[in-house]
Amino acid sequence: MSRMKLDRIDRKILHDLQKNGRTTNVDLARHAGISAPPCLRRLRALEENGIIKGYHARLDEATLGYGITGFVLVKLVSQADADLKKFNARLAEWPEVREAYLIAGDMDYMLKIAAKDWEQYQTFLTTHLNSAENVTSIKSSMVVKEAKYEAGVPIAVE
């Protein structure tokens, strides 16, 4: 896929969608200074080029009963391609794992875990993650309070 060149209007559309994914095409167009039909064409091009990967609602974890968020660093015995693929397949099976990143440095993965309570978090760590094939060690940190959340990436609109 070739890299799409973004102009000021495309960046404005992306900026506005990151702030509010439910923004209507008419509002996007108005803020970008164009009419609705070309705005929709630009939006579709951004989607087709993979710049916009999807849309989702940001949910309040605590209101839904998920009072524990933790970040876990995972070290593997082997980082061979086949072993990474197997571990990624395991990650996909665990609903508690909300985000997973292969990272460089002393550890191999960083995981974001959502759990209803401390007991569920501990059970996940001991019965699933720590006992998974190829896992040699884990380091866990609990979130006390979210200090900042901003979706996406910084987009300069001017």
**Crossing angle for the helix pair 25-32 and 8-19, to the nearest 10 degrees:** 130
Go through the domains of the chain in sequence order and give each one's CATH number: 8-48 (1.10.10.10), 68-142 (3.30.70.920)
Model confidence at 3, pLDDT cuts 50, 70, 90, reads confident
Arithmetic mean of pLDDT, 1-9 = 81
How much is the pTM? 0.87
CB atoms inside a 10 Å sphere around CB 125: 18
Q: How far apart are CA 29 and CA 157, in angstroms?
A: 14
pLDDT for residue 64 is more than 80: yes
Identify which of 81, 153, 146 has the alpha carbon closest to the alpha carbon of residue 112. 146
Q: Give residue-wise pLDDT tens across range 113-151.
A: 999 999 999 999 999 999 999 999 999 999 999 999 998
**What three-state secondary structure class fits 108?**
coil
Model confidence at 2, pLDDT cuts 50, 70, 90, reads low
C-alpha distances in Å from residue 153, one per residue of 19, 150, 156: 11, 8, 10
Tokens 């996007």 label which residue? 28
pLDDT for residue 9 is more than 50: yes
